[in-house]
Structure 1
Amino acid sequence: MTEKTITEAKCLFSIARDSLLASLKNVSGVVEPSQVMQILSYVKLSGQGNHVTIMASNSEVEVETSARLFAESKDAFSLALPCRKLMDICKLLPESSVIEFVLKDQWVEVRAKDANFKLSSLPSQSFPLLPRLEVLHQIEIPEDVLKLSIEKSCFSMAYQDARFFLNGLLFECLDKKVNCVATDGHRLSWANAALLGSSVQGTSQSIIPRKTVIELTRLLRATDAAVHISLAQHAIEIRAGHFIMRSNLIEGKYPNYTKLVPKDVSAAATVEVQALKLALGRVAILANEKFKGAKFYFSQGQLKIVGRNFDQEEAVSQLPIGYEGSDREVAFNIGYVLDVLSAVETDEVVFQFSEKMQGVLLEQPGSDAVAYVIMPLTL
């Protein structure tokens, strides 16, 4: 008769449900359940004393955060548990719950009042970690400034473009400033901001992948706390008060975006943002469903927008503008213009035209913090 070994249950740590759920939400954005590697749908929980560190990774981006434990843990612990299941458990427990994590017979039991869950775990030592950075540059920037600069520019990133370097955001540091630039070849967004501090001598360019940029917009908060950014040749690390993110960078040379920005302006139109949004909304009803293009007719004191579809249906909308220059006809993708209007913070936007270049420059009056270039359509 074989003797059966019974493993004594061991409490690893206990934590308030609200603290754990908030931390899981911070890191869960990089978790991808469809990954071939099962452990990438897990989170790593490790710690000792009063805090637990929670980390998630998709092998290209990793995010970690920490939470305070309900009671001090005397022994060090490290385990990997399925992220989505753990989040679902937390969501269905009362807000004031205290959760205990107990190791028993190679399983992890998640215990709370009137509820007990037995979860499978994986060895935490097999959790993938990105290589540590060989830091070349370090910069500091207010969190709200970084968040705003990324949000004002990232919508122009390409998506699954064969020119892989366009599937991300250019993060360019120079002269104590940072430029956030994105383009998909049809439009360009550019935002700049002052740094709190920088070790960059000259110019430093990094291309941050789309996935990392999207996670940053979700994680960054509207506070003036300093964010510390470390730049390496092939990776970046962002340290904020409530998270640490590490990511690989896109290798390749970003195009010289300054060549796309019109320099010699020959005509300019000042348009009220809300009025233009309403006009575009009306025209979009009958615009071509695939291209969503419309023709803009600029003339003294008036802008007329015309949209047509394959059925020869037509929508026309007019609004007053301030315009200096000869009458002009240009076609735009309605969605591209609406993206810009949603990003600007002023009541008006200025369209600037150059005879030498195809791109049309859109800016906020009296501000050089952001700029947008939209390439006209051929309709």
Structure 2
Amino acid sequence: MKVTLERAALLKALGHVHRVVERRNTIPILSNVLLHSDGDGLLLKATDLDLEVTERLTAETGTQGGTTLPAHILYDIVRKLPDGSQISLETTEAGPLQLRSGRSRFTLQSLPESDFPDLAAGTFEQTFTLKAGDLKRLIDKTQFAISSEETRYYLNGIFMHTTEVEGHVMLRAVATDGHRLARVEIPAPQGASGMPGIIIPRKTVAEVQKLVEDQAQEVKLEVSPTKIRFTFGEVVLTSKLIDGTFPDYARVIPSGNDKFLTVDRGPFQDAVDRVSTISSERGRAVKLALAEGKLTLSVTNPDSGSAVEELEVDYDAAPIDIGFNARYLLDIAAQLDSDTALFKFADPGSPTLVLDRDGASALYVLMPMRV
């Protein structure tokens, strides 16, 4: 294999693929990135057996062939080379790879291309395209609520499915960790109708979130019962899905909450942030005391003291005292798009609904705490 290409192009591609590679691997080949020249350019591929990212680059190709190299070492070498430099990669039969750039020379130990695993085998029954902004919205608005509790593995991702709402087919993303739930929906694109419910793993969600930042146009999604593939231009990410059943989240979303609070989002966030400075790391509880036109936020910590702050709000229902985890409140408030937040309460022991406004496409459910 012999190829020559721009440093900037190779660095960007390695930035996309090398993140998949775990720092510690019991299988040596999984520490490597595959490079293959087929005469049309250079293909890069990395995998952890659950997730695979490939990217094709334009390159000046000499001899064809392929090899695999330590992903993080190669990325660091290319990152440290000067801007604007040309890089030449050359291998001999079963020998190490020679990397040349300007006056720099590196000889890197390789493993054979034939040993590299292929995750992308199999067919995808359903294909559709999403605007990059829509995919970003589905992920950004829900990923914070993904559970990190490994025993409930079926909550370790975003549940995506289609559903009918008032005669319209919607594509919906849901995540929950048992303490809070995030649900956001967009009109289903052509080809998505009837898509089975799938759970996209947390690591895949994080990679898609980074890749979609570089994508201005549309993203192609291909879905099978066990895998999902995202195509961002020349970058292709294929991932296994979580093999489990997502709980019936609709049962958790309250429908009869009749105490409505409307509050300016910015001042509310700032007040929660200030009073929670006093709260204990373990509890993080903040109490909301609601009375007509007034919200009082308070935290009491026997070890460090207490804090109280009052806000003028739009509230005219019966007084209620309710407690929440301050971090969860701040996470949800940060996801809202408008300048106001609408809270719908039932009683101090029941889930609370948080939205931008009635009928908003994103809604959040928050379980209360005892305070």
TM-score normalised per structure 2: 0.94
In the alignment, structure 1 segments of 5+ residues that lack a partner are 1-10
Residue 67 (structure 2) pairs with residue 79 (structure 1): yes
Of the candidates 15, 23, 31, which is equivalent to residue 13 of structure 2?
23
Residue 192 (structure 2) pairs with residue 204 (structure 1): no
Q: Could you say which residue in structure 2 is the equivalent of 1:185?
A: 178
Secondary structure of the residue aligned to 1:220 is: helix
What CA distance in whole angstroms lies between the structure 2 residues aligned with 1:163 and 1:316? 37
Residue 221 (structure 2) pairs with residue 229 (structure 1): yes
Q: Could you say which residue in structure 2 is the equivalent of 1:4?
A: none
What CA distance in whole angstroms lies between the structure 2 residues aligned with 1:363 and 1:92? 46
Q: Could you say which residue in structure 2 is the equivalent of 1:251?
A: 243
Secondary structure of the residue aligned to 1:237 is: strand
**What letter is aligned with 1:271?**
V
Residue 350 (structure 2) pairs with residue 361 (structure 1): no
What CA distance in whole angstroms lies between the structure 2 residues aligned with 1:51 and 1:145? 31
Q: Could you say which residue in structure 1 is the equivalent of 2:270?
A: 278
Q: Could you say which residue in structure 1 is the equivalent of 2:295?
A: 303
Cα deviation digits, residues 47-88 of structure 1 (max 9, x gap): 32342111111110011112111x2x2532211011111111
Of the candidates 76, 79, 83, which is equivalent to residue 91 of structure 1?
79
What CA distance in whole angstroms lies between the structure 2 residues aligned with 1:271 and 1:356? 19
What CA distance in whole angstroms lies between the structure 2 residues aligned with 1:212 and 1:294? 33
Percent identity over paired residues: 27
In the alignment, structure 2 segments of 5+ residues that lack a partner are none
Aligned residue pairs: how many?
A: 366
Distance 1:125 1:324, change over 3 A: farther
**What letter is aligned with 2:138?**
S
What CA distance in whole angstroms lies between the structure 2 residues aligned with 1:211 and 1:371? 24
Secondary structure of the residue aligned to 2:303 is: coil
Distance 1:359 1:222, change over 3 A: farther
Of the candidates 148, 151, 156, which is equivalent to residue 162 of structure 1?
151
Secondary structure of the residue aligned to 2:244 is: coil
- 1:11-50 equivalences in 2 (<5 Å): 12-50=2-40
Distance 1:279 1:168, change over 3 A: same
Secondary structure of the residue aligned to 1:286 is: coil
Q: Could you say which residue in structure 1 is the equivalent of 2:257?
A: 265
Of the candidates 143, 146, 151, which is equivalent to residue 135 of structure 2?
146
| Conservation of the 8 A alpha-carbon contact between 2:320 and 2:348 | no
- RMSD of aligned alpha carbons: 1.8
Residue 133 (structure 2) pairs with residue 132 (structure 1): no
Of the candidates 30, 34, 43, which is equivalent to residue 53 of structure 1?
43
Residue 91 (structure 2) pairs with residue 103 (structure 1): yes
**What letter is aligned with 1:178?**
L
Secondary structure of the residue aligned to 1:215 is: helix
What CA distance in whole angstroms lies between the structure 2 residues aligned with 1:356 and 1:301? 19
Q: Could you say which residue in structure 2 is the equivalent of 1:5?
A: none
Secondary structure of the residue aligned to 2:337 is: coil
Distance 1:356 1:291, change over 3 A: closer
Runs of 4+ in 1 over 3 A off after TM superposition: none
* 1:221 Cα deviation from its structure 2 partner: 2.5
Q: Could you say which residue in structure 1 is the equivalent of 2:53?
A: 63
What CA distance in whole angstroms lies between the structure 1 residues aligned with 2:214 and 2:19? 19
| Conservation of the 8 A alpha-carbon contact between 1:138 and 1:200 | no
| Conservation of the 8 A alpha-carbon contact between 2:4 and 2:89 | yes
* 1:214 Cα deviation from its structure 2 partner: 0.9
| Conservation of the 8 A alpha-carbon contact between 1:235 and 1:249 | yes
| Conservation of the 8 A alpha-carbon contact between 1:48 and 1:76 | yes
Cα deviation digits, residues 113-148 of structure 1 (max 9, x gap): 010000001111111121523323222211111011
**What letter is aligned with 2:334?**
S
Distance 1:270 1:155, change over 3 A: same
Cα deviation digits, residues 147-192 of structure 1 (max 9, x gap): 1110101100000331110111101123442111000001000111
Q: Does 112-121 or 320-329 show the bigger shift?
A: 320-329
**What letter is aligned with 1:99?**
I
* 1:224 Cα deviation from its structure 2 partner: 5.3
Distance 1:317 1:251, change over 3 A: same
- 1:269-348 equivalences in 2 (<5 Å): 269-311=261-303, 313-348=305-340
